[in-house]
Chain A
Amino acid sequence: MMDLTKGQWVKHVVTHPFEGFEDLRWKKGGSMKISWFIVFLLFFSVLAYNRMYGFQYYSSYDKIFNLVPYIFQSIIIFLTWVVANWSMCTLFDGEGTMKNIFINTAYALVPYIVGSLLCTFLSHSLIQDEYIFIQTISIITECWTVILLISGQKAVHQFTFGKTLALIALTIVAMVAILFLLVLVLTLFQQIAIFIMSIYTELSYRIRV
């Protein structure tokens, strides 16, 4: 029973929102490789959604193209979620390891990625009046991802439903805190870099004279 390959496990988990993650946990069917691939796909779907969307729905500001916001919207947010969730679950006596949280979250994102890629594709063949189809698809896939996310959290930490919701809320708070500290650290390092640069400039002028 349940002797699936790593790829088949993804399908099993996504199509069985309520017991899929439990099976995954007991059979240890998750794969970091596939998870990283899904995170990369998430990045690509965000990029496609912002830059390759049908012109009749959305026109991006073409004078500037900067990858950083898209990396932030996908990979950074994902990693922050994993770290914040792991830090919070240790306080709540959750059973999940960092690796398992990573895998569960990545697998839960599959419907969202598929949905947004599908919407991007459809946006090229539909007109504005038919936007309802795109909207339906995106709402369904987003709800699906949320359900998977909750059930994944529940399975990986072996929590009750209420405790899972509380954990998710606290995770979001922790994410905000982490991102704030990150920005703070970055600014600090920037200041140090500017300081060193100005010392270098000063010295180089002095030496020349």
Chain B
Amino acid sequence: MINWKKSIAAFSAAMLAVTAMTASVSALEAYDPYSYDRWKDAVPSQVGYVAAYNVDGRQMGCEKLVEPTDMFLAADNLMYITDKAGEVEINGVKEKFPSRLIITDLDFKVQRIMTEFNYNGQTLTLKNPSGVFVSEYDNTIYIADTENSRVIHCDQDGNVFSLYEKPNSELYPADLTYNPSKVVADKAGNVYVVVKSVNKGAVMFNKAGEFLGFYGANRVEATAEVLSRYFWNLISTDEQKANTIKTTPIGFSNFDIDEDGFIYTVTESTDTDTDIVKKLNPRGYNIFNNANVNNVKFGDYPPAYYSIYTKETSLVDIDIGENGELNCLDFNQGRIFQYDKECNLMFIFGSTGEQLGSFKSPVAIESYEDKIYVLDSRKSNVTVFTRTDFGDIVTTATNYYNKGMYEEALEPWKEVLKYDGNYRRAYIGIGNALYNSGDYEGAMKYYKTAIARDRYDRAYEGYRGDYLRENFDTIMTVIIIVVILLLILSDRKKKGKLDFKRMFENMKREEVRLK
């Protein structure tokens, strides 16, 4: 009872401390930092990243960004930004800008601006491009030239190698538009193009520009509507079937490729939870389609806490960080969800609004070391986030943890708990370290706090084994005494009085009989 009261007192003290801490942090940020607990409820947390500053076109040195659409950080640490054509007012003078590809360094100082491309002596211009990619293998540029219906593949000087245009194939319906919005290329030079009107996956070309097919389609979520449609299709005639709505998956909206050649896709839809984030191998198989990650809901759990609006998450861009973190950008709430490579939520930050660190129309995200860059197309600027001390410690601990170095992760995880007592993964991390060192009882305590049932079960198994081994003498003695007492009692019942001599005779007879 006393123990119970104590723990309540401790809990309320901890809650007070947490509230005090977050109050001091949220004074700096345009939003309340939060995280999700074991029950998928939002709980106050610490910020992992803070908005340091933002850069607009004037500060970059290209007068003005009209409506930037995509941003890509290349292996040579240059930032490639695509910008739409348009007319903007600068100091009261209207000025016209063509569609541009702006190349800056990491401090966002413009290095080059590309508007014209040379294709076999012919000059090509861009028309509202919305995607750019630079291959890390040969440093060539791929531009999704959306309204010209082509993908341009060129070198750094603007000499075009080839154009990837609308496939002339039976697989690609002739009446379907082809407006490439995003593009990536793999090591072999295969090009993957996201086309908004195609929901079968990315349109895939080989290096020579031949159409290879579609890559990595999403699955259809088995909703009640889909199931009932499937059922009716079983019994309806061909004519009826032709008139029913087809069940089609939702096409993904953006992707990124990591060093090992895995392609990560995000799907913008708010109607489905299936395949929101995928990790595709070169054959188009989703590696995240496993028991662990299928349970992860990317983005906010509905209802979205910590905001007045309950808009659902709509992920528009994904970026793979240096340790394999997944940085997912939510368009609706202007939030960035950072997951580690095992898809465990690390941080949530960002919001919508006018202040630094909040967005109107975030479209692209990139990261470099401990910085995260977010491009806003309506604010026409780039916001730079830097990792906080708390973020550093969590990242260190997570990296050790994901490599299986639980002992090394112990100290960082303890440090994490000093900052944020709600950080569930820290309890699991400490539990794992204790479990590996054989301290099962300590591990049980931490697993219980983290509500990690299966891990607790394993720790308990170890604890029970140790306990039985250590107390074998006592337990056996107790059992023997109880057995003797029971024998005496049953004997007394039969005879009415205690008779040891007869009892031993009985026991002997029993032994003989057993032999």
Chain A residues at the B interface, C-beta cutoff of 8 Å: 55-59, 61, 63, 125, 127-129
Contacts and interface: CB of A to CB of B under 8 A. Distances in A.
- Give chain A's interface secondary structure class: loop
15 contacts: A55-B448, A55-B453, A56-B456, A56-B457, A57-B453, A58-B453, A59-B451, A61-B39, A63-B39, A63-B41, A127-B457, A127-B460, A127-B461, A128-B454, A128-B457
Interface residues on B, range: 10 to 19
B464 interface: yes
A59 B451 CA distance: 7
A59 B38 CA distance: 11
Interface string B459-475: 01100100000000000
A4 B121 CA distance: 112
Given A55-B448, A61-B39, A63-B39, A127 B464 contact: yes
A51 to B, nearest CB: 13
Interface in B407-460: 448, 451, 453-454, 456-457, 460
B456 A55 contact: yes
B460 A56 contact: yes
Q: Which of A58, A59, A61, A129 has the most CB of B within 10 A?
A: A59
Q: Which of A56, A63, A129 has the most CB of B within 10 A?
A: A56
Nearest to A130: B461
A56 B464 CA distance: 13
Contacts of B453: 55-59
A127 B468 CA distance: 14
Contacts of A129: 461
Contacts, number: 22
Given A127-B457, A128-B454, 14 more contacts: A55-B448, A55-B453, A56-B453, A56-B456, A56-B457, A58-B453, A59-B453, A61-B39, A63-B39, A127-B460, A127-B461, A127-B464, A128-B457, A129-B461
Contacts of B39: 61, 63
Contacts of B448: 55
A127 B460 CA distance: 7
A145 B361 CA distance: 64
A128 B461 CA distance: 9
B12 to A, nearest CB: 14
> Which A-B residue pairs are the 5 nearest by beta carbons?
A56-B457, A127-B461, A128-B457, A59-B451, A127-B457
Contact of B464 (A61, A63, A125): A125
Contacts of B456: 55-56
A55 B451 CA distance: 9
Contacts of A57: 453
Nearest to B451: A59
A58 B453 CA distance: 8
Contacts of A127: 457, 460-461, 464
A37 to B, nearest CB: 25
A61 B41 CA distance: 11
Interface in B34-92: 39, 41
A93 to B, nearest CB: 46
Contacts of B460: 56, 127
A57 B39 CA distance: 16
Nearest to A125: B464
Nearest to A54: B460
Contacts of B454: 128
A127 B455 CA distance: 11
A56 B39 CA distance: 17
B148 to A, nearest CB: 56
Contacts of A56: 453, 456-457, 460
Interface string B78-122: 000000000000000000000000000000000000000000000
Nearest to B41: A63
Contacts of B464: 125, 127
Contacts of A125: 464
Contacts of A63: 39, 41
A56 B461 CA distance: 10
A155 to B, nearest CB: 31
A161 to B, nearest CB: 38
Interface in B156-215: none
Q: Which of A55, A58, A61, A129 has the most CB of B within 10 A?
A: A55
B465 to A, nearest CB: 10
Contacts of B461: 127, 129
Contacts of A55: 448, 453, 456
